[in-house]
Amino acid sequence: MNKIPEILIHNTVSMPVLGLGTWEMGGRQAPELSEDKKWIEAIETAIGYGIKHIDTAAIYGAGHTEQLVGEAIRNFKRDQYFITTKVSGDNLQFGEVLRSVKASKNRLGIDQIDLLLLHWPNPATPISQTISAINKLLDDQVIRYFGLSNFPVELIREIGFYTDAPIITNQLEYNLFTRNNASYNQNVESEIIPFCLKNGISITAWRPVMKGKIEASTHHLLVALAQKYNKTPFQIALNWLLSKPLMMAIPKMSSKAHILENIEALSFEMDKAHLAHLDVLGI
Ligand SMILES: NC(=O)c1ccc[n+]([C@@H]2O[C@H](COP(=O)([O-])OP(=O)(O)OC[C@H]3O[C@@H](n4cnc5c(N)ncnc54)[C@H](OP(=O)(O)O)[C@@H]3O)[C@@H](O)[C@H]2O)c1
């Protein structure tokens, strides 16, 4: 199996274009323990197939998802995985950020978090205060890099005043059919992505396969392209997404079939004209 391609961000860190999402592995807002074995095996399988980047968050399963990730990575070497986790938008005061990250690190069982994201912005806490905590975590080498999630342009611009550290990524809801109509940000394709690209900030597309609910049959173009390239509609959708500059995707995959299907989505190139037709499919 081919290695997952990587992108170099800010001349600082290289990250694979395909990672693994973990939302709903081990619970939503509360821990759900009944399927632990299944989730641990899914994460192990993904890493076994060369998926290094694991995306999780402090709030997933109220911390239980991070514990499952910690279990799964235990038998792999440190250079086989790259862990992104997030501090909740409800915990962005200086001390809260430090406490949250310490707890995440303990649950994950690692010495250093590779990439820490601010999960969503919170107007109740001055962002300068949050970034002070980020600067401390970077100085103390508790985290290697930091980034954002669901952040609008004005706030990204403001963060530049409070730190010299590069913003590695902005994680945004983005896929073939969700462009400027995401649940959190309304102007992802028209404003946020162009601004990020101009400033060298990568995009991590969350919900990249629309929770497995792409209704291909209602989209003639998707069906036709899937036939032409001998791929599934999901592979066409993911290939389109990852043809974009500085773009990464983190589908949640718990079945081996989906892991293999999504890795295989990176193995071909579509004609520019076909990509352009897909460009105008979403809103
Ligand atoms: N920053 C944020 O605010 C935010 C918000 C939401 C999510 N996220 C992150 O982004 C990740 C991905 O988003 P998501 O989990 O909401 O949605 P998603 O990745 O678009 O969808 C996951 C669902 O799609 C299925 N699937 C995966 N590959 C498929 C394929 N090739 N064909 C058909 N179905 C497929 C999975 O099934 P199986 O599990 O059965 O394989 C799962 O049910 C999350 O897990 C989380 O890490 C971040």
Residue 31 has pLDDT above 70, yes or no: yes
Atom of ligand 1 nearest to the CA of 208: 20
- In this structure, the residue with its CA closest to atom 47 of ligand 1 is 21
Residue 282 binned pLDDT confidence (cut-offs 50, 70, 90): confident
CB 151 within 8 A of CB 182: no
pLDDT averaged over the chain?
96
- In this structure, the residue with its CA closest to atom 8 of ligand 1 is 206
Tell me the per-residue pLDDT of 238-280, one tens digit each, with 9 for 90 and over: 999 999 999 999 999 999 999 999 999 999 999 999 999 999 9
Atom of ligand 1 nearest to the CA of 262: 31
Q: How many CB atoms lie within 10 A of CB 233?
A: 20
Tell me the per-residue pLDDT of 93-103, one tens digit each, with 9 for 90 and over: 999 999 999 99
Secondary structure class of 248 (helix, strand, coil): strand
CA of 21 to the centre of ligand 1 (A): 6
CATH for 6-215+245-257? 3.20.20.100
The per-residue pLDDT for 24 is 98
HSE at residue 166, side-chain half, CA atoms within 13 A, is: 16
- In this structure, the residue with its CA closest to atom 15 of ligand 1 is 252
- In this structure, the residue with its CA closest to atom 10 of ligand 1 is 206
Q: What is the mean pLDDT of the segment spanning 101-110?
A: 98
Secondary structure class of 237 (helix, strand, coil): helix
Q: What is the mean pLDDT of the segment spanning 109-126?
A: 98
The per-residue pLDDT for 1 is 66
Higher-confidence position of 196 and 183: 196
CA of 132 to the centre of ligand 1 (A): 32
Tell me the per-residue pLDDT of 148-187, one tens digit each, with 9 for 90 and over: 999 999 999 999 999 999 999 999 999 999 999 999 998 9
How does 18-44 read in b/e, with b if 16+ C-beta sit within 10 Å?
bbbbbbbbbbeeebbeebbeebbebbb
CB 87 within 8 A of CB 58: yes
Residue 128 has pLDDT above 80, yes or no: yes
Q: What is the mean pLDDT of the segment spanning 219-226?
A: 92
Q: Which residue ranges make up each domain of the chain? A: 6-215+245-257
- In this structure, the residue with its CA closest to atom 14 of ligand 1 is 207
Q: Which of 255, 219, 258, 220 is nearest to 238 (CA)?
A: 258
The per-residue pLDDT for 283 is 66
Secondary structure class of 199 (helix, strand, coil): coil
| Residue of 83, 168, 188, 253 to mutate, ligand 1, most atoms within 8 A of C-beta | 253
CA of 126 to the centre of ligand 1 (A): 31
pTM: 0.98
CA of 40 to the centre of ligand 1 (A): 16
CA of 207 to the centre of ligand 1 (A): 5
CA of 24 to the centre of ligand 1 (A): 9
State the burial class of residue 177 (Cβ atoms within 10 Å of its Cβ: 0-12, 13-18, 19+): middle
Atom of ligand 1 nearest to the CA of 184: 3
| Residue of 41, 68, 258, 261 to mutate, ligand 1, most atoms within 8 A of C-beta | 258
CA of 10 to the centre of ligand 1 (A): 27
Residue 234 has pLDDT above 80, yes or no: yes
CB-based pocket (< 6 A), ligand 1: 21-23, 55, 149-150, 171, 206-212, 234, 250-255, 258, 261-262
